Structure 1
Amino acid sequence: MSEIKSTGGVAKIAVLADEHEMRLDRWFKEHYPDVTFGMLQKLLRKGHIRVDGKRAKSNTRVEAEQIIRVPPLNLEVRIYDKKPPSELHQDDIYYMQNMVLHIDDHLIVLNKPSGLAVQGGSNTKRHIDGMLDALKYDLTEKPKLVHRLDKDTSGLLLIARTRVAAQKLTKQFQTKTTEKYYWAIVNGVPRLREGKINMPLVKLGTKGHEKIIAAEEDAKGHENAKSAITLFATVASVPALASFMVLRPITGRTHQLRVHMAEMGNVIVGDGKYGGTDAHIGGEISRKLHLHARHIKIPHPSNGEIFEITAPISGHIKNSFHSFGFDEEAGDLVLEKFENR
């Protein structure tokens, strides 16, 4: 069923704080969802839409407290009845909120379990992005993802509570002002106790079936290769069997740590995608991926001061630590050495 909607009169609307640096076309999509992109472009070309009295473009970034002038929209716009989004089941709300390690007015930090995808896909129906409404708490705005973890990687995942926080956190991840540290159990014992891997990576395959491989030593050797750098240190080893390692990705390429460890000859335990049968030790050791986002340091979106947090290990990784006799405290001591470099 449809109806005709008509609005009249010039509107002057102040940009909200959490809309700071939002593109103008996106602002319109949220405030006037029935105005098509073509209509918006026409209004902008004719100068009917103004930002603080000046002409603007669809990609103009608006600033908090600016005034957007919206002309009379005497447009026939078809409004279709929409099925309201289904509410989250109480079990999903509890599940999500039980992951929370930290919450403030600007961000939420989760300890994501292994096996839970961050975003959906063709065969992924249950994922963090689809359950973010469970983390609204006292706000009406839906929280926003600012980075990702692989489905089978556990540990720290930061969620922005506002648009402003999302913009700042996303920029920090992109500009490498964030320090991330991972714990991993790998097959065998690394030849070097610590060092740096500088190995460009390239993505092959189609969407949903991608695989990352090491490119030529020089990133220019492959037109799609991207620089990838990882620092590593071995905490403890069980001779000829497995090692506990701290990994710090300097770059943030897809599957970077997994490919770098496999290329070094020490595949992460449980990583059958890149290690084949070598990834599985057998016995009581789980076949799941043994990679955990342990610690993060990042400027807080509210004041720029360094915020850091640690995620405890659990499940199959904790069981494997016990089986191998690895000491968690020793891992944190090595992590501190990384931070002091």
Structure 2
Amino acid sequence: MTATSKDLVRFLTIDDTAEGQRLDNFLFCELKGVPKSHVQRIIRGGEVRLNKKRCKGTDRLNVGDVVRIPPVRTAASADTSAKPIPPRVFDIVYEDDALLVINKPSGVAVHGGSGVSFGVIEQLRRARPQARYLELVHRLDKDTSGLLMIAKKRSALVKLHEMIRLNVPQKSYLALGVGAWQAETRRVTLPLVKYVGAQGEKMVRVGEDGQSAHTVFDVLQRFSGSLLHQIGLSDLSLLRATLKTGRTHQIRVHMQSQHCPIAGDERYGDYQANKRLQKIGLKRMFLHAAELVLPHPLSGEPLNLNAPLPMDLQQLLLVLAHGKE
């Protein structure tokens, strides 16, 4: 390990991006690479000052507060083989001073971890070094594309989390199911249980002892005919899935439970069907977060946000509709 040093005392004036945040959590973000135990130690030792006074880690910050941060040593890995996080610009659907909503592409994790060194949030922070605050509001699976919210102020994050707990945002997805969805099955309310799979992966199944879950499905289009028969399939169903609750893998497991799993879903889908669909161009899971309706977290202004279906999925629908590759 090598060590680098910040030799100067810093004085940071708090703006509305950190208003209401605990001092220790604020410092954990400011002093990335410094062990949390060391951050707590310099607070207890009086080296950190809040408005020139001794303070506690639990103190809440207000706009205009001045935080004194002493020189600290940050551990830096000597492993030069580690690749730096590349900055990336994502398609912006909505942005103001409190909220950023992007159209996340498939194949990109929302954050690093579990074998992924970085994700959307780390790349956004690299692309926007001037941004004081960028935090994920919610998550999308790596292979799911579509609308992803990032808070640019802590006050917006707190309000959005409260809204999500109350199921205020209306989230609608587009999903292609393998099979003929039964139109009378519009509401699926099967409870869901989390468990760990054989390879240590996070899994979800239907179970009476699980968390309540509610998805509303509407059939938008049905596909059948010679092209599907040529690859050994009979029916596909394009669905709009509207979440009434926000459980992990909810749409994927609810569709699996109705014997109409999502096309291209490697975890809950039909392996043989996925292999056959690859022949006509499906290279990913067909699940897209298409619409988000909610009041703005700070102004209350109604927001109705939409992300168009990615071109590869649009192309697949055209192939299915015209019955030829």
Q: Which amino acid aligns with 2:310?
A: S
Residue 140 of structure 2 aligns with which residue? 149
Q: Secondary structure at the match of 1:275?
A: coil
Work out which of the residue numbers 174, 181, 204 in structure 2 matches 1:190.
181
Deviation at 1:20, TM superposition (A): 1.3
Matching of residue 37 in structure 1 with residue 29 in structure 2: no
Tell me how far apart the structure 1 counterparts of residues 72 and 11 of structure 2 sit (CA, whole Å). Answer: 24
Tell me how far apart the structure 1 counterparts of residues 166 and 113 of structure 2 sit (CA, whole Å). Answer: 27
Residue 315 of structure 1 aligns with which residue? 311
Work out which of the residue numbers 201, 209, 212 in structure 2 matches 1:227.
212
Tell me how far apart the structure 2 counterparts of residues 30 and 324 of structure 1 sit (CA, whole Å). Answer: 48
User: Which aligned pairs between 1:156-167 and structure 2 lie closer than 5 A?
Assistant: 156-167=147-158
Deviation at 1:52, TM superposition (A): 12
Q: Secondary structure at the match of 2:205?
A: strand
Deviations 1:78-114 (A, max 9, x none): 635757x98765xx43xx24x2223222222211111
Deviations 1:234-281 (A, max 9, x none): 112124411110001111111110000000111111113112336425
Q: CA separation of 1:28/1:244 partners in 2, compared to 1, >3 Å: closer, same or farther?
A: closer
Where do 5+ consecutive residues of structure 2 fail to align? 225-233
Q: Secondary structure at the match of 2:282?
A: coil
User: Which aligned pairs between 1:254-293 and structure 2 lie closer than 5 A?
Assistant: 254-277=248-271, 279-280=273-274, 281-282=276-277, 283-293=279-289
Q: CA separation of 1:202/1:28 partners in 2, compared to 1, >3 Å: closer, same or farther?
A: same
Range with greater deviation from structure 2 (141-150 or 165-174)? 165-174
Tell me how far apart the structure 1 counterparts of residues 245 and 187 of structure 2 sit (CA, whole Å). Answer: 12
Same amino acid, percent of matched pairs: 27
Range with greater deviation from structure 2 (124-133 or 245-254)? 124-133
Tell me how far apart the structure 1 counterparts of residues 219 and 252 of structure 2 sit (CA, whole Å). Answer: 16
Residue 106 of structure 1 aligns with which residue? 98
Q: Which amino acid aligns with 1:19?
A: A
Residue 246 of structure 2 aligns with which residue? 252
Matching of residue 59 in structure 1 with residue 44 in structure 2: no
Q: CA separation of 1:4/1:135 partners in 2, compared to 1, >3 Å: closer, same or farther?
A: closer
Tell me how far apart the structure 2 counterparts of residues 3 and 316 of structure 1 sit (CA, whole Å). Answer: 48
Q: TM-score, normalised by structure 2?
A: 0.77
Q: Which amino acid aligns with 1:191?
A: Q
Q: CA separation of 1:143/1:12 partners in 2, compared to 1, >3 Å: closer, same or farther?
A: closer
Report the aligned-residue RMSD.
3.7
Deviations 1:22-81 (A, max 9, x none): 0132234457879631453576xxxx978999x97643433434677x7x98xxx76357
Q: TM-score, normalised by structure 1?
A: 0.74
Deviation at 1:310, TM superposition (A): 0.6
Q: CA separation of 1:248/1:284 partners in 2, compared to 1, >3 Å: closer, same or farther?
A: same
Residue 21 of structure 2 aligns with which residue? 22
Tell me how far apart the structure 1 counterparts of residues 6 and 176 of structure 2 sit (CA, whole Å). Answer: 62
Residue 228 of structure 2 aligns with which residue? none
Confirm or deny: 8 A CA contact 2:190 2:213 kept in the other structure: yes
Confirm or deny: 8 A CA contact 1:272 1:279 kept in the other structure: no
Q: CA separation of 1:28/1:100 partners in 2, compared to 1, >3 Å: closer, same or farther?
A: closer
Tell me how far apart the structure 2 counterparts of residues 4 and 168 of structure 1 sit (CA, whole Å). Answer: 35
Residue 335 of structure 1 aligns with which residue? none
Which structure has more helix as a fraction of its residues? 1
Confirm or deny: 8 A CA contact 1:268 1:279 kept in the other structure: no
Q: CA separation of 1:3/1:142 partners in 2, compared to 1, >3 Å: closer, same or farther?
A: closer
Q: Which amino acid aligns with 1:228?
A: A
Q: CA separation of 1:279/1:160 partners in 2, compared to 1, >3 Å: closer, same or farther?
A: farther
Deviation at 1:305, TM superposition (A): 1.2
Where do 5+ consecutive residues of structure 1 fail to align? 220-224, 327-341
Matching of residue 140 in structure 1 with residue 140 in structure 2: no
Deviation at 1:167, TM superposition (A): 2.7
Q: CA separation of 1:50/1:155 partners in 2, compared to 1, >3 Å: closer, same or farther?
A: closer
Residue 321 of structure 2 aligns with which residue? 325
Q: Which amino acid aligns with 1:119?
A: H
Residue 181 of structure 1 aligns with which residue? 172
Deviation at 1:192, TM superposition (A): 2.9
Q: Secondary structure at the match of 1:100?
A: strand
**Number of residue equivalences:** 301
